[in-house]
Amino acid sequence: MKAEYDAFPSDIPFNYSFLDERYAQTYQTEVKTGKLLSIFAGLTILSLVWVYLD
């Protein structure tokens, strides 16, 4: 693929990545976002319980 890409004049370098690596990166981002949202949801519930019991 690189040889065919180099046949055309371009200032953009040839970059590639494997699809499974991109999926893994996306999945890790989703996991981190889920953990963060869980923490904020827990804090919200605790604060509501604290206000209710006060």
| pLDDT tens digits, one per residue of 1-45 | 777 777 777 777 877 789 999 899 889 999 999 999 999 999 999
- What is the reported pLDDT for 11? 79
DSSP state string for 11-37: SS------HHHHHHHHHHHHHHHHHHH
- The answer, as to whether pTM is greater than 0.75, is no
- What is the reported pLDDT for 10? 75
- What is the reported pLDDT for 36? 98
